[in-house]
């Protein structure tokens, strides 16, 4: 059965005085023999363990190495292993992967692509200049959108993906990644506050602001992801130091193997 917003059960109940979260989607309708198709199509590593979950409750767990992959998220630019900046975004906002709506990956990956192509250091401060996080009152999950009043990096906003929670599978050995604890409430007002930018970030913001918006579908197109090292197509991928936490982002320069940790921003109080 395909999961929809209308059919999603309550996400929490109380049993013996203890709050228990319930999976807000049905068991995956992706057949086990079909998992190999997205693995091949999106050049996912073959050394990862992929599994179709019989119990959707497992998709909400926060065990080391666990990462739930929605097929629609792959169509919106998600690739494995996760780029360090994508891990940073999930940790900063304390979002469990199962609660991030699939189309939001276009904003994360497109921002990363545009920064890499422009030689700009990727930081949370810059990401927040262009994006805000919202919750959907009528549907499960959170999603990113362009910040109101800020010049857009993408020529068009992403379209809502209906019933995106129907097809998903679990990766159980994504080295260096542990999902945040599952939670369906976040303080988006606080999280969406801009950060005090460093001098370098202000210069990079000016550089990004001069870019002409690009069509979102092109930015996350497989060839584009491959050129900046975010896809394993043809055996090429940026060296991703997932074992080492990178708190604010990464810079790519001097070729595909050069990644530097940038200076951090400070949140505006």
Tell me how far CA of residue 162 lies from CA of 4, 77, 134, 144, 166, in angstroms. Answer: 7, 17, 17, 16, 9
Task: Give the mean model confidence (pLDDT) for residues 27-40.
Answer: 79
Per-residue pLDDT, 25: 63
**pLDDT beyond 60 at 179:** yes
Q: Note the residue count of the chain.
A: 269
Per-residue pLDDT, 217: 80
Q: Percent of the chain beyond pLDDT 90?
A: 43
Q: Is residue 4 part of a domain?
A: no
List, for residues 2-22, the tens digit of each pLDDT value. 222 223 334 444 334 433 344
Per-residue pLDDT, 183: 86
Q: Is residue 81 part of a domain?
A: yes
List, for residues 73-111, the tens digit of each pLDDT value. 999 999 999 999 999 999 999 999 999 999 999 999 999
Per-residue pLDDT, 161: 55
Higher pLDDT, 171 or 12: 171
List, for residues 53-64, the tens digit of each pLDDT value. 778 888 888 899
Per-residue pLDDT, 90: 97
Higher pLDDT, 45 or 90: 90
Closest CA to 164 of 23, 48, 43, 69: 69
Higher pLDDT, 162 or 84: 84
Tell me the β-bridge partners of 252.
Answer: 259
Cα 137–215–4 angle (5° rounding)? Answer: 30
Cα 72–156–90 angle (5° rounding)? Answer: 50
Q: Is residue 103 part of a domain?
A: yes
Q: Domain total for the chain?
A: 1
User: Which range of residues forms the domain containing residue 195?
Assistant: 12-267
pLDDT band for 158, please (50, 70, 90 cuts). Answer: low
**Non-local CB neighbours of 171 within 8 Å, separated by 6+ positions:** 48, 49, 50, 65, 66, 67, 68, 69, 80
**pLDDT beyond 80 at 165:** no
List, for residues 108-143, the tens digit of each pLDDT value. 999 999 999 999 999 999 999 999 999 977 667 899
Q: Is residue 2 part of a domain?
A: no
State the average pLDDT for the chain. Answer: 77
Mean pLDDT lowest for which of 80-89, 186-195, 216-225?
Answer: 216-225
């Amino acid at each position: 059965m395909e999961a929809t917003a209308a059919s999603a059960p309550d996400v929490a109940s109380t049993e013996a005085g203890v709050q228990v979260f319930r999976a807000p989607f049905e068991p995956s309708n992706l057949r086990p023999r079909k998992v190999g198709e997205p693995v091949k199509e999106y050049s996912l590593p073959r050394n990862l363990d992929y599994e179709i979950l019989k119990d959707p409750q497992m998709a909400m767990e926060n065990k080391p190495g666990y990462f739930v992959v929605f097929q629609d998220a792959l169509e919106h630019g998600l690739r494995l292993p996760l780029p360090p900046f994508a891990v940073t975004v999930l940790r900063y906002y304390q979002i469990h992967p199962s609660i991030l709506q699939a189309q939001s990956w276009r904003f994360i990956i497109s921002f990363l692509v545009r920064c890499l192509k422009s030689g700009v250091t990727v930081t949370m401060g810059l990401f927040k200049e262009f994006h805000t996080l919202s919750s959907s009152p009528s549907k499960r999950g959170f999603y990113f959108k362009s910040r109101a009043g800020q010049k857009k990096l993408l020529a068009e906003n992403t379209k809502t993906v209906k019933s995106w929670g129907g097809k998903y599978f679990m990766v159980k050995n994504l080295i260096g990644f542990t999902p945040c604890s599952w939670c369906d409430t976040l303080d988006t007002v606080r999280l969406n506050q801009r950060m005090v930018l460093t001098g370098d970030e202000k210069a990079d913001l000016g550089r990004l602001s001069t870019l002409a918006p690009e069509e979102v579908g092109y930015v996350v197109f497989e060839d584009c992801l491959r050129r900046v090292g975010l896809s394993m197509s043809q055996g090429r991928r940026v060296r991703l130091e997932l074992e080492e936490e990178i708190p604010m982002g990464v810079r790519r320069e001097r070729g595909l193997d050069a990644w530097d940790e940038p200076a951090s921003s400070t949140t505006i109080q």
